[in-house]
Amino acid sequence: MERRAALFEYLLRLGDSCLVLGHRVSEWCGHAPELEEDIALANVALDLTGQADMLLGYAARIEGKGRDADALAFLRDAWDFRNLLLCERANGDFAHTIVRQFLFDAWQAELYAALARSTDAGLAGIAAKGVKEAQYHLRHSGEWVVRLGDGTDESHARAQAALDEFWPFTGEMFETDAVATELIAAGIAPDMTPVEAAWMRTVDDVLAQATLARPKSGWMQTGGSKGRHGEELGHLLATMQFLPRAYPGAKW
């Protein structure tokens, strides 16, 4: 695969994951169980949307076809999205939202730390900035996983159920296909083996404190990076993209 095309594809994966999860988390605005948590989730959503803006803006410049971050975010359909399937899953209860966030934050913090050493200066700059935000998010979601897991019987059961449901979606985080292989060879993307090992150490450490059991790693879901998504993404995009599609070029 041509390197420029591979980098475009890779940036879409990173940017779409931020955008879609950022939108999901923003759905909690005004609905979180307490005021401080409402503020926290809104802040996390804002950071992820900001990262998506940078990553998709960079993707558009690499593509060089006159599109910008908004065009990529609002004028593509579900099959053109490259986000992790984990990110598009509906919020469910608060435990589902927190466990999904924790699995993602632990991955993103490790990946950004590695990407900050990328040979691509544009990507390294975004990652060096994003890693601080990701680590801060991880602390927040990690503390909640411990609080829920090591809380009441009810919160423990809900956290474990969320973990069991989302575990098969974690394999996708560490896939290495032709796109990744091309970029790894050029030192643009990191080898995912040490990233996965570090992620697993964080997960095991937090799950132990949370008295939660790590599910067995068996069959894993896949398809997000190839544009094969669940129906939930279409509903999310219908909400997120309505305004710029109904009122093209709208400004305020």
Query: By C-beta, is 136 or 174 nearer to another protein?
Result: 136
Neighbours of 177 (CB within 10 A): 13
Total residues belonging to the chain? 252
Dist CA 74 CA 51 (whole Å):
16
Q: Minimum distance between the CB of residue 141 and another protein, rounded to whole angstroms? A: 10
Angle 94-115/153-166 helices, nearest 10 degrees? 50
Range 140-169, binding another protein (CB under 8 A): 140, 142-143
Spatial separation of the C-alpha atoms in residues 115 and 124, rounded to whole Å:
6
Rounded to the nearest whole angstrom, what is the least distance from the CB of residue 32 to another protein in the complex? 11
Asked whether position 125 contacts another protein by CB under 8 A, the answer is yes
| C-alpha 235: how far from chain center | 18
Does the protein bind another protein through residue 92 (CB under 8 A)?
no
Residues in 20-79 at the binding interface with another protein, rule: CB under 8 A: 36, 39-40, 42-44, 46-51, 53-54
Under DSSP, is residue 90 helix (H, G, I), strand (E, B) or coil? coil
For residue 25, the surrounding DSSP H or E stretch is helix 3-26
213 vs 145: CA distance, rounded Å: 12
How many chain residues are in contact with another protein, going by CB under 8 A?
A: 32
Is the Cβ of residue 142 or residue 149 nearer to another protein in the bound state? 142
CB 5 within 8 A of CB 69: no
Q: Which of 136, 150, 164, 221 binds another protein (CB under 8 A)?
A: 136
> Is 225 within 8 Å of 175 (Cβ atoms)?
yes
**For residue 1, which amino acid is it?**
M
Q: Is 126 in the site for another protein (CB under 8 A)?
A: yes
Of 88-96, 138-146, 230-238, 242-250, which part binds another protein (CB under 8 A)?
138-146
Pair 247, 196: CB distance under 8 Å: no
CB of 85 to another protein, least distance (A): 24
Told to check if 221 binds another protein by CB under 8 A, we report: no
DSSP 34: S
Note whether 240 and 140 are within 8 A (CB): no
Tell the smallest beta-carbon distance from residue 22 to another protein (Å).
Answer: 8
Considering the complex, state which of residue 84 and residue 138 has its C-beta at the smaller distance from another protein: 138
Minimum CB distance to another protein, residue 89 (Å): 22
Piece of the chain touching another protein by CB under 8 A; list 67-75, 170-178, 201-209, 218-226: 201-209
Q: Which residues of the shown chain bind another protein in the complex (CB under 8 A)?
A: 36, 39-40, 42-44, 46-51, 53-54, 121, 124-126, 128-130, 132-133, 136, 138-140, 142-143, 202, 205-206
